[in-house]
Structure 1
């Protein structure tokens, strides 16, 4: 070493300037990272606030207290039939809509029937089924208000509707209640009577089929490719194909489902089984890729130790490697299922955009899913469907969080450390 060379002088002005620039660059990097996090959190908060402000009102229904004098109403119904097993069928064929309209005009004026929902007569029907003695007296029955009155009661309606709301409130005939029908009914043409149960049940059935097909096949494919498949050009071709399939647009899988499951296999159109098969094809590559990475991450010492104590190759994989790789596999499954839950394009291609007025009874019945239901409602002309769209989005988010929470629970349960 040169004796004349002096050690670095960290107190010199030049070194102090260099250190100051280094610390300043570090502070700028930290501030940019913090700014990116805050910006993302701000967008997320704005999204949640927008959905809550527009969707929470969808769970509230405006109701009108309608007085009906049944003995003097134009009801064409024998009171004795309400005690028979055919009571519901008889009420469906009775002129309850005429009775409801006449009672509204008598109570609220010539335009009183416009204050009620088009399906308000179903509330009268349910009240009569619950208490047949109402036919013998005058009663006040709570029925859903029209979409215009409902929006005006929530301060989103026209001036004429707001004036009608003021008159109804002055008569004490207007009230609000939790909209249970939104959670128990299916699609309809009246925004005050639509619900998400049909679409929610369709989503559940579709996701169950997707998970039942994609998870075991994806995991077994990942294990085979990582543990047993020979390293040759065919294996490399399969790996490249799987990686490319994971990036294919979802609508391509919809076209594949349309060509194979509907046109070739002749499966029922707009059924949960077709939707599940199509989404399983889309989800499987993601599970295979995540599964392979998780299996590869298991230390080789685990395999060597298991083989050293006499375990067979199959026992090594399924008793030691797979349990340790399961948390990573479940992470990939969560990502794939979350993507499948929010998909709309492939399901539109296989006809799951049909008008479904009743929940599906099985996987072969006509069905729709929540994302498609949200898409259909967002395309409606009536303003009453706007808040229903936002409310359905909230249900979809809760459904997604619940599904992810269950998957995370199982992932943590199977997680092992070494």
Structure 2
């Protein structure tokens, strides 16, 4: 009886449900209208939240770009001062031998100082003379030496020569030092500013494109400091990183995806690879410090050590990207190759890898871009040293662009502020190019399955 009652109740419920389904829906009823309006309002709010997030991100990017660009674009130009120089034979080549060794040892800095004394004869006390000599950069004497070495016929002549100015004089010409500020609150006194106005009235002050910024290494003088040494160091470091991480990462991805048995060991390896991709970069720096410097005794502050350290950091990214690209190749490709008699290795090397290579290269370039912007691991292995010379190999002491930016940001001179921003602009340019190249590869070689 109980079963019969349950059956009757189920049938009654089914009839009610069936009747409700057959009942027409009144779309114009107030209840349905309220539900539809609520649904549309929620959709509009969701779209508004998404657009607001994009707008905030674009605004933040615009503010950041403007802040860096407004401070850094002036570093691409440098103030030069025109001075009338007498190439005194008595100081340059007393015996008239024309020997380059004798000319190279001449006191060209004295020639520049003599020219400034002639230009401002009213300056007599020692302190004012010292301030006057700062109008011209200390590196101008090397430029003058090279000019005479290339053209010895200048000896004995008087020529007007454009020379690179000192950093404070450059900041004054660029408007970063204001004459309206109280004399005690600026780096240049009233007398120095009067010399600037006198030279400007003579047309002896102008801004020229600052090629030294792209061709020089680091320097303690802001007007002579450049990014070329750091750029070469970054190139060597990335070359070592790529040479190690790309083949190892691709081979590891191929093994894990195509040949490794599915057991506890491979599961542990996969979990650790995923975890290593999220490890803070400074941990890899500590590992490089202990293994490469303290145990293997490799040269400190060398690109080879930086490349080895960054290779450890980049490997998980490349392995994960390569596995995703290999997994995206349809199984039918493998089955067709195996069905035609190809071995598993031939299937992978001749079919799977070529089809997965665009994705692998994209992931590799993104990993290299990440390595290019890293600072913390390189600080741990000593690549924060002050390096003036351009490195000639991966074993020479060097620094990299992010570390160079870090060093300049810590310098007290105002001229290094624009150098820091300009170096950031160059680094961002490299990163944009690398990511753009990755997008190009993905779009060009992408296959639709």
TM-score range, shorter chain: over 0.9
Judge conservation of contact 1:222–1:288 (CA < 8 Å) in 2: yes
Task: Give CA-to-partner distance per residue, 1:236-262, whole Å, 9 cap, x none.
Answer: 111121112111111111111111112
Using the alignment, how far apart are the partners of 1:79 and 1:194 within structure 2?
36
Judge conservation of contact 2:217–2:227 (CA < 8 Å) in 1: yes
Give the drift of 1:414: 3.5
Query: Which residue does the alignment assign to 1:139?
Result: 159
Tell me if 1:241 matches 2:272.
yes
Using the alignment, how far apart are the partners of 2:80 and 2:316 within structure 1?
50
Give the drift of 1:62: 0.2
Give the drift of 1:135: 1.6
Give the drift of 1:131: 2.3
Tell me if 1:99 matches 2:111.
yes
Out of 222, 231, 256, which is 1:200 matched to? 231
Query: Which residue does the alignment assign to 1:190?
Result: 221
Using the alignment, how far apart are the partners of 1:92 and 1:259 within structure 2?
46
Give the drift of 1:413: 4.1
Tell me if 1:47 matches 2:64.
yes
Judge conservation of contact 1:63–1:142 (CA < 8 Å) in 2: yes
Report the more deviating stretch, 270-279 or 124-133.
124-133
Closer, same or farther in 2 for the Cα pair 1:335/1:403, shift >3 Å?
closer
Out of 301, 308, 314, which is 1:277 matched to? 308
Task: Give CA-to-partner distance per residue, 1:58-80, whole Å, 9 cap, x none.
Answer: 01000000111223x87253474
Judge conservation of contact 2:74–2:418 (CA < 8 Å) in 1: yes
Tell me if 1:149 matches 2:169.
yes
Report the 3-state secondary structure (helix = DSSP H, G, I; strand = E; otherwise coil) of the residue aligned with 1:156: coil
Give the drift of 1:162: 4.7
Task: Give CA-to-partner distance per residue, 1:361-411, whole Å, 9 cap, x none.
Answer: 111111110000110011111111111111111111112222333344444
Report the 3-state secondary structure (helix = DSSP H, G, I; strand = E; otherwise coil) of the residue aligned with 1:353: coil
Tell me if 1:13 matches 2:30.
yes
Judge conservation of contact 1:123–1:142 (CA < 8 Å) in 2: no
Out of 341, 358, 362, which is 2:393 matched to? 362
TM-score normalised by length of structure 1: 0.94
Closer, same or farther in 2 for the Cα pair 1:163/1:100, shift >3 Å?
same
Give the drift of 1:335: 2.5
Tell me if 1:333 matches 2:364.
yes
Report the more deviating stretch, 397-406 or 338-347.
397-406
Pairs aligned (count): 413
Using the alignment, how far apart are the partners of 2:21 and 2:360 within structure 1?
62
Give the drift of 1:108: 3.4
Judge conservation of contact 1:208–1:276 (CA < 8 Å) in 2: yes
Report the more deviating stretch, 274-283 or 346-355.
346-355
Using the alignment, how far apart are the partners of 1:75 and 1:52 within structure 2?
45
TM-score normalised by length of structure 2: 0.87
Using the alignment, how far apart are the partners of 1:3 and 1:135 within structure 2?
109
Query: Which residue does the alignment assign to 2:51?
Result: 34
Tell me if 1:68 matches 2:85.
yes
Judge conservation of contact 2:108–2:145 (CA < 8 Å) in 1: yes
Judge conservation of contact 2:93–2:106 (CA < 8 Å) in 1: yes
In structure 1, list runs of 5 or more residues that go unmatched. none
Report the 3-state secondary structure (helix = DSSP H, G, I; strand = E; otherwise coil) of the residue aligned with 1:387: helix
Larger radius of gyration: 2
Closer, same or farther in 2 for the Cα pair 1:304/1:121, shift >3 Å?
same
Using the alignment, how far apart are the partners of 2:417 and 2:155 within structure 1?
38
Out of 20, 24, 43, which is 2:41 matched to? 24
Judge conservation of contact 1:203–1:341 (CA < 8 Å) in 2: yes
Report the 3-state secondary structure (helix = DSSP H, G, I; strand = E; otherwise coil) of the residue aligned with 2:161: strand
In structure 2, list runs of 5 or more residues that go unmatched. 1-17, 124-128, 180-188
Using the alignment, how far apart are the partners of 1:97 and 1:183 within structure 2?
25
Give the drift of 1:140: 0.9
- Counterparts of 1:163-182 in structure 2 under 5 Å? 163-182=194-213
Using the alignment, how far apart are the partners of 2:44 and 2:32 within structure 1?
18
Report the more deviating stretch, 305-314 or 4-13.
4-13
